[in-house]
C-alpha cells in the first residue's frame, strides 16, 4: 500500500489513542489482588510496555501538533504526567509480584493513568478533532509506522508477557463472567425498582 493511500484509509490518530486507552484500562481491570502472581507479572509487564510506547508516540506525534495550535494547560501537564507514569513503571519493574508494594504500585499507576486518560479524552482529543480534522488520518498513519519501529525490537518481550498474562485467561474470563452475573443478581435484589437494571443497560454502555 502506498504511503498516501495508507494515510487516507488510516484510522484517525485520535481514535487510535482511544483504542490504546481502552486496551490498557482493560488490562488494569483484569488485575485483581487475588490474581495469581505469574499472571499479575504478565499483566503488569503488558501495561508498562503499552504505556511506554503510547506515551512516546503521543510525545513525538500528537502533542507537538497540538502545541502549534494554542497554549493549553492540559497539554502542559501531559508530559509531566507521562514522567510520573515512567517513575511508577521503573518502581514496578524493580519489584516481584509477591512483594508487599507490588499491588499498590499497580494501583498507583492505574490512578495516574485514569486521571491522565480522562484529561486527554475530554479535552485534548476533542480539541484535536475540532482543529486538526483533515490531518488526523495522516497523523494516524504516521503513528502506526512509528509504532512498528518502536515495538519491533521488543517483540520477544511482548510475546513473553502476553503468554504469562493469558496463562489463566480462560479461567479468569470464566470467573469474571460468574462474578458479573452474581453482581447483577445481587443488584437486582437490592436496587430500588425505579432504578433496577439501569447500571447494566446495554444502550448506556454502547452495546
Ligand atoms: Fe494517551
Ligand atoms: Fe498521554
pLDDT in tens, 140-186: 999 999 999 999 888 887 877 778 787 555 444 433 333 333 333 33
Cα–ligand 1 centroid distance for 181 (angstroms): 32
Cα–ligand 1 centroid distance for 74 (angstroms): 12
Radius of gyration of the chain (CA): 19
pLDDT of residue 5: 63
- The pTM of this model reads 0.77
Contact 88, 109 (CB under 8 A): yes
pLDDT of residue 180: 37
pLDDT tens figures, 26-78 = 999 999 999 999 999 999 999 999 999 999 999 999 999 999 998 899 999 99
Q: List, as ranges, residues with CB under 5 A of the ion ligand 1.
A: 120
Angstrom distance (rounded) from CA 42 to CA 25: 15
Domain definitions of the chain by residue range: 2-183
Ligand nearest to the CA of 22: 1
Ligand nearest to the CA of 23: 1
Cα–ligand 2 centroid distance for 77 (angstroms): 10
pLDDT of residue 162: 78
Amino acid at each position: 500500500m502506498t504511503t498516501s493511500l495508507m494515510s487516507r484509509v488510516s484510522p484517525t490518530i485520535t481514535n487510535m489513542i482511544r483504542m490504546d486507552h481502552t486496551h490498557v484500562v482493560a488490562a488494569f481491570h483484569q488485575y485483581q489482588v487475588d490474581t495469581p502472581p505469574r499472571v499479575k507479572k504478565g499483566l503488569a509487564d503488558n501495561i508498562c510496555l503499552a504505556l511506554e510506547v503510547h506515551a512516546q508516540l503521543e510525545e513525538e506525534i500528537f502533542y507537538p501538533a497540538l502545541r502549534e495550535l494554542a497554549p493549553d494547560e492540559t497539554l502542559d501537564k501531559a508530559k509531566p504526567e507521562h514522567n510520573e507514569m515512567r517513575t511508577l513503571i521503573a518502581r514496578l519493574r524493580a519489584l516481584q509480584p509477591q512483594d508487599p508494594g507490588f499491588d499498590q504500585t499497580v494501583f498507583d499507576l492505574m490512578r495516574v493513568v485514569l486521571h491522565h486518560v480522562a484529561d486527554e479524552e475530554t479535552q485534548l482529543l476533542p480539541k484535536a478533532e475540532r482543529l486538526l480534522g483533515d490531518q488526523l488520518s495522516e497523523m494516524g498513519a504516521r503513528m502506526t509506522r512509528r509504532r512498528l519501529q518502536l515495538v519491533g525490537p521488543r517483540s520477544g518481550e511482548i510475546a513473553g508477557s502476553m503468554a504469562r498474562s493469558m496463562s489463566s485467561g480462560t479461567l479468569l474470563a470464566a470467573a469474571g463472567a460468574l462474578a458479573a452475573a452474581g453482581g447483577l443478581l445481587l443488584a437486582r435484589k437490592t436496587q430500588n425498582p425505579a432504578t433496577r437494571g439501569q447500571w447494566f443497560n446495554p444502550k448506556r454502555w454502547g452495546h
